Amino acid sequence: MTAVLQASATPPAYAVVVPTLGRPSLRACLDGVAAATASGRGPVRIVLVHDRPGPDGTPPALDVPPALRPITTVVAGRGRGPAAARNTGMRAAVGVPWIVFLDDDVVPGRSWGEDLAGDLASASRDTAAVTARIDVPLPPGRRPTDWERNTAGLATARWITADMAFRREALDAAGGFDERFGRAFREDAELALRLIEGGWVLAPGSRRTTHPVRPADRWISVRLQAGNADDVLMGRLHGHDWWGRAGAPRGRLPRHAAVTSAAAAAVGCALAGRRRAAAWCAAGWLVGTAEFAAARIAPGPRTRSEIATMTATSTVIPAVAVWHWLRGAVLHRRVRRADPAAPPGTRAAAPEDAPRERVRS
């Protein structure tokens, strides 16, 4: 690895890439970037990747602040999720040494431009990326709901591409994001692990960005269980210890498997006419489900609506989580361990017995 060079006093040029579905929140995000431009610390280019292009493949018009229109390009995504959209935006921002990825539902802080300039100017030569500090405002005067607590977890995530600046050289070395991650889940941690394994550094930054809690229906927690398939892919790419290295919580999958097994056994025993065994298995399922619901209700506002939502979703989440895990195990059964994203001119050490796989897009 090359030696750390002294930080340059002049911040390098950067482009902002925003994958978007055309949500109204995009305007607030771009207004924050426009404020940075007004201070003289703005991007040289903005690429908006519209992941819901029209029937003819042309991206719809987006609400862009007048100050940003001369440097903004809107390109059509491929409808394959944020990882693929970021890769599309990165390729469109040709020749810019740093790429700052923003989600379309975040709001950069007032001093975002100045702070980002400082973050990039102080980055050493072996720094692949500089993170931001994410603030998730929660409603005052009451406890947060399950969904609000889930979003609040972004504030402590180790690597989050809601606002993350990447050196283009590092992105090129990694081949971009792994597009097999089709949701906004784990694709940032996966890229970070490949960069770190290759010898790069991911540094904390000083800029602050707000990530509001967006509205969601009561079944959002059930749909989020699709991420269990992505966890299987992470294990294939980075080994079973990836949880600790990524600082990711392990979740309740083992408990979900036990609860789901109890339910399946209860049905099987009932069909076989073994009523006593079916009753015991059904009791196990009921106890497991009640414990799960109680664990989700206790830290929340405990309103009638929240209790009803937690009770209903807790009955189906274990089975849905196990289903997605099994789906991922089948879908990714032939995936091999990923190659480290080593800087040009270097070769990262890798276990001799670990077959490696490059990112496919």
Q: Which residues contact 96 (CB under 8 A, 6 or more apart)?
A: 13, 14, 15, 44, 45, 168
Identify the pLDDT of residue 104: 95
Within a domain: residue 164?
Answer: yes
277-314 residue pLDDT tens: 999 999 999 999 999 999 999 999 999 999 999 999 99
Question: Token pair for residue 219?
Answer: 């079944």
Mean pLDDT for 320-328 is: 98
The mean per-residue pLDDT over the stretch 20-38 comes to: 92
| Residue 271 falls inside a structural domain | no
Q: For residue 28, is it within any domain?
A: yes
Q: Is the pLDDT higher at 1 or at 229? A: 229
Domain housing 133 = 14-217
HSE of 39 in the Cβ direction (CA atoms, 13 Å)?
Answer: 17
Number of C-alpha atoms within 13 angstroms, CB side, residue 266?
14
Percent of the chain with pLDDT strictly greater than 70: 93
Domain membership flag for residue 319: no
Local confidence band at 9 (pLDDT 50, 70, 90 cut-offs): low
* CA–CA separation, 216 and 306 (whole Å): 13
141 Cβ neighbours under 8 A, 6+ residues apart: none
Token digits for 53? Answer: 């292009």
% of the chain exceeding 90 in pLDDT: 83
pTM beyond 0.85, yes or no = yes
Encode pLDDT of 81-137 as tens digits: 999 999 999 999 999 999 999 999 999 999 999 999 999 999 999 999 999 999 999
Between the alpha carbon of residue 223 and those of residues 316, 317, 354, the distances in Å are 11, 9, 33
In a domain, 289, yes or no: no
Q: For residue 130, what is the domain's CATH number?
A: 3.90.550.10
CA–CA separation, 345 and 356 (whole Å): 19
356 part of a folded domain: no
Domain count, the chain: 1
Write the secondary structure of 38-96 as one string of H (helix), E (strand) and C (coil).
HCCCCCCEEEEEECCCCCCCCCCCCCCCHHHHHHEEEEECCCCCHHHHHHHHHHHCCCC
What does the pLDDT look like over 127-157, one tens digit per residue? 999 999 999 999 999 999 999 999 999 998 8
* Measured distance CA(62)–CA(105) in Å, rounded: 14
Residue 111 lies in a domain: yes
In a domain, 293, yes or no: no
